[in-house]
Chains A and B, each alone.
Chain A
Amino acid sequence: MSFFREVQLDDSFGPFVALKERYGFIPNLIRAQTLAPRLIEAYEKFESIALVTENALSRIQKERIVLIVAAAFQDAYTVAARAAILRSLDLSEIQIDQLLGDFRGAGLSTPDIALLDFCFKLGMNGTSIDSKDIEGLRSIGYDDGSILEAVLACALTRFFSALSAGLGPDPDFEPQKLPAPVAVQKAFPPASHLHGKKGPYIRTTYQSPRTFAPFANFLKGHGFIPNLYRAQTLRPDIVEDESASIGKILMGGKALTRAQTESIFVVASSTILNTYCVAAHCNILRRYGLSPEEADQIAFDHRQSNLPEQDKIMLDFTVKLASRPFEVCLADVQKLRDSGFTDEQVLDCVALTACSNFLNIIRLGLGVEPDFELPPGFEQNKVHLPGTEARLTKDDAVIPISAAAAGDSDAGLVADAQAGNLDAFEELIRRHNSMLYRTLMAILGNPEEAQDAMQDALLSAFKHIAGFQGRSKFSTWLVSIARNTALQRLRSRKNMESLDEPAGDEEEFRPRQLRAWQDDPEQAHSKEEIRQIVERGIMGLPAKYRIAVMLRDIEQLPTEEVARQLGLSVPALKTRVLRGRLMLRESLAPHFTADAERAAV
């Protein structure tokens, strides 16, 4: 019936009841997932929000979308299943054949054809979509609700296709004749994103992170509200069901560890060039004890990562399923079993890949802005052609050594220093010692110790300069040496200040000092006074807030870079920066409030 053994589920199992009612029978695609009932729950919910519940678009409009996108993907199982449904909605065999052959000549209305054109383009090569496609749909009468539903139907199709490829269900119905594969790149060159407007393309509504449960959960669980869901707030009901289902697939399982789950999701996303999910989940991986570099390496090329060999075998399978879905066969699943994986684990892997496909279409169709920066070296808008290995690779993205050196004004001196010229090295450290000192002060919080550590760091830099390969700027490399030196010292202190704490452990900090500040607070003090006030304030912060504020507001490094340097996820870093700023605000307040001004007068 499929690659996976079917087990008997309780007749009263809700999703089963709903699906039986929907179809009159249980499709093989569902039977293939009985070992993991939560996946069936998620499946049923997805189908219900994206296809069954009629709102802006009719069921038949949505089923047509699924049929056409699935056919373009050569997904025979889904095409046969959806054709059967269209027949039950009173379409004739001829009409279905016409849709599959050439929907533009199938006698549909102009708006219906335009909608299918949009979905076809989105499904086959979403990177070619931009705001003008959405404006085109609006101009022929589609409202934003319809557009959202069309995107969802399209996303669901890609979800189905990954599932049917990975689960290998026998068809429930006579197969339909599929159209010839399309040459995608030729048909849809990627949008330049220079001409269209920034997303989200459709209207959004404000949802409170305090009262809207999905947003409250995201804040609590991950420290941020994904833009992907914000982009769908036109329909809070959809956000609710969709995020619950995704949550079930990503977090509800026990078969895989959290780190395994996230690794699979990152690799699947990287393979289909789902840059949105790569950026978000590389960050989430950091919360499971991986360094930013390790997390990025999994996205780039898991084979070169430090993961156990067994995990890499699962990730190889993920790449195949994501890039060449219809080449996946029972032998691939068997290979995983032989490597010690259970069927439940493989099922999860398939569902995770399907999930990434689903989310990729949503982010492309709605123009969702990334929550986080991509790991350095990733390209944003490469095209994924079905049936090819498209994985985001570092190879063409790694900055060649000469190019990095070309952008670095230190390059000449570095080369001389590496050749043993001590004067060149001396010049290099004179150039950078002020920045090094700030980094060291940030971490150590004590001028004498910072100066001590600076000597150690400079000597260490000299010792290792021959090994510096120029993949980053020299100054970045130098700062990283200083940082490691300082962190080592800090960790060896007797009463070590706590730098790390488990995620979500930051109790909320509410400001107390609420008197208004002067309009122009800098005016009342000399520059030197202000510098002293600020330095005292920063030195009075607990280490982890001090470091965050120093790097962010004194060094003025971008958020992502500070997070990376400290090995934190971006949301965790943001929390620290805000809290540090608020604590600093309390200590600065006595000098800058309006009453302080009056008192001074």
Chain B
Amino acid sequence: MITCDEFFAEFGDYLENRVPPEVRQELELHLSQCRACHVLYDSTRKTVRIVMDSSSFELPKDIADSITDRVMAKIRKQSF
């Protein structure tokens, strides 16, 4: 079985589902037998999911509108 270091070397691509089949097979065998790497994989995968679904950094509508209004006011002033 591959070592934790070997697992970690391919970890980023594995998260992105971008490893070739022969590598995937080794990684999954390792995951099934190494608790530490399994926790790492599971929690990182969940981190990405949580971040993606979090709707973070939406600009509140009132702020967006006020910025747009300010910008348009400047532009309209310049245009006359």
Contacts and interface: CB of A to CB of B under 8 A. Distances in A.
Contacts, number: 145
Contact of A433 (B21, B26, B47, B59): B59
B68 A433 contact: yes
A514 interface: yes
Contact of B6 (A208, A451, A454, A534): A208
Interface of B is mostly: helix
Contacts of A578: 11-12, 15
Given A208-B2, A585-B43, A534 B54 contact: yes
Contact of A517 (B9, B23, B39, B70): B39
A210 B23 CA distance: 13
Interface stretch (A174-182, A280-288, A421-429, A480-488): A421-429
Contact of A514 (B10, B36, B64): B36
B53 to A, nearest CB: 7
Interface residues of A, number: 63
Residue in B51, B52, B71 whose Cβ sees the most chain A Cβ within 10 Å:
B51
A531 B44 contact: no
B39 A425 contact: no
Contacts of A574: 12-13, 16
Contacts of B42: 516-517
A437 interface: yes
A510 interface: yes
Interface residues of B, number: 48
A422 B75 contact: yes
Interface string B40-70: 1011101110111111111100011001101
Interface in A429-450: 429-430, 433-434, 437-438, 441-442
A459 B50 contact: no
A575 B71 contact: no
A459 B77 CA distance: 12
A426 B12 contact: no
A554 B51 contact: yes
B22 A553 contact: no
A151 to B, nearest CB: 18
Nearest to A369: B20
B79 interface: yes
A510 B8 contact: yes
A147 interface: no
Interface in A542-560: 549-550, 553-554, 556, 559
Given A206-B23, A559-B16, 4 more contacts: A369-B20, A433-B59, A434-B64, A535-B56
